[in-house]
Amino acid sequence: MKKIALVIVMILLVGCQKQEVKEFKSEWYMLSKTVKEDLQYSPFLDEMVISDELLDKIQNMQNVEDILPVYSLDTTLIEPGKLDNPYGNIKIYKNDQLISEYFFDPTNENVNSFRIINVWGYPHDLNMNDFTIYKNQNEITDGCYLSYEVAKQLGITNLNGDYLLEIYCLIPVSNQINSTLVEKYPDLVQDVTNDKQLLYPYTLKVKIAGILDPGISSSRGQLYIPLEQMQNLINEHQIEEVKTNNYIVKIKESSALKEIQSLDKDLKIKQYPLESTGNIKKTNLN
């Protein structure tokens, strides 16, 4: 009886132990100046911008190693009166075979539908595998990483096989919208979220390299592709040099965050890859 009681006590003790919170540490942070409250969806251009002067000051800081422009591509932008719903779709291939297709049409119960997904870029020296719960065993070096929530939306529960994602997205090609540009480029889409950019419809095909841990999440689904690939797409299709209001900075010491914040009180600083849950180690800037 004593042995049985001891076993029961041990089981209870184990069950009462708190699960260890997994901490994700990154040297990269996103900087943004925006009037929008939701930093997960910062537009390319906003009423507030990061000036070249401010960028130069940050770049020249002793504990800043690099600073790069970063972009977010829409996959679900609808232009009323011009394009029918659903606007865009996603196809999933496994071992070269189409296994599923999803549409952005949440009200249609007859099709597989996905919610908002934003495409972000990751720099080449940010090891995204450090943040994954599943990764492709073939060690893909230029693939995409899905947030856990996006993978769940698309019915991907593991990476047992070679997965390829085909996703419709919109690439910014201008910093303005005017009648001259609209007339000259009739096939481009107008960004109705901030009415400042023309967008080029593009179907992105990329292998899935990993699924991010549930601790890295967002109110908006995230999909990360190589930043260099994203920049190349913009350079290829842009009408003029496209500006962005979002930058990622690589720091050497955490003290750099306070120094950066001191330059402009309106700067928003967030760990990158983006996160919004309490499972990520936060950096206190106060």
Q: Give the domain ranges of the chain.
A: 20-271
Q: Using CA atoms, how far apart are residues 245 and 221, in angstroms rounded to an integer?
A: 20
pLDDT reported for residue 123: 95
In this structure, are residues 156 and 146 in contact, taking their beta carbons and an 8 Å threshold? yes
What's the average pLDDT block by block, 10 residues per block, for the chain (286 residues)?
A: 47 41 72 66 61 94 94 68 53 93 68 74 92 88 91 89 91 88 87 77 93 76 93 94 90 93 88 61 33
Least Cα distance to 104 among 88, 117, 120, 118 occurs for 88
Amino acid residing at 81:
G
Whole-prediction pTM? 0.81
Sort 262 into a burial class: Cβ within 10 Å, 0-12 / 13-18 / 19+.
Answer: exposed
